[in-house]
Amino acid sequence: MIYSSALYPADPFALMRRLSEDLDRMAFGGTRAFPALNVWQNDEAAAITAELPGVEPADIDIQVKDNVLTLSGERKAPDLPEGATWHRRERAFGRFTRAIRLPFRVDPEKVEARFAEGVLRIAVGRPDEDKPRRIEIKAA
């Protein structure tokens, strides 16, 4: 892997992010960081979806503080029959942690998580006082 600082002249932290992604890829057997995440937002809330195949809901921990959501847990390796050895092992197992900086402070009372078919869906609400408000203009 070549990391030339000339490739990232506008963003001094791009090189560090790229190196971090490569380390994640190496730690998890050549894949991207685990779990894969999607994040979107509107004025009211943000939604996070995480792909967690093979992870039990009891093995997942979600924490929110200020504008950072931390998702951690463990994907346990399957039990092999006695005398069996791995022929190919591309799925990673073990502990994982992902921290996501959200675009606004989160109201801890407005966080909801649902888990179905290996996909975790988290909705985080914005505090009412932080929501954008439309200001009415009064004619003179």
For residue range 91-109, list pLDDT tens digits in order.
888 899 999 999 888 888 8
H or E element, residue 17: helix 14-27
Q: What is d(CA 109, CA 126) in angstroms, rounded to the nearest whole number?
A: 10
pLDDT of residue 24: 64
Answer whether residue 130 shows pLDDT above 80.
no
| 88-92, Cβ contacts within 8 angstroms, sequence gap of 24 or more | 89/29, 90/29, 90/30, 90/31, 91/29, 91/54, 92/27, 92/28, 92/29, 92/31, 92/34
- pLDDT greater at residue 12 or residue 121: 121
pTM of the model: 0.68
Average pLDDT over the chain reads 83
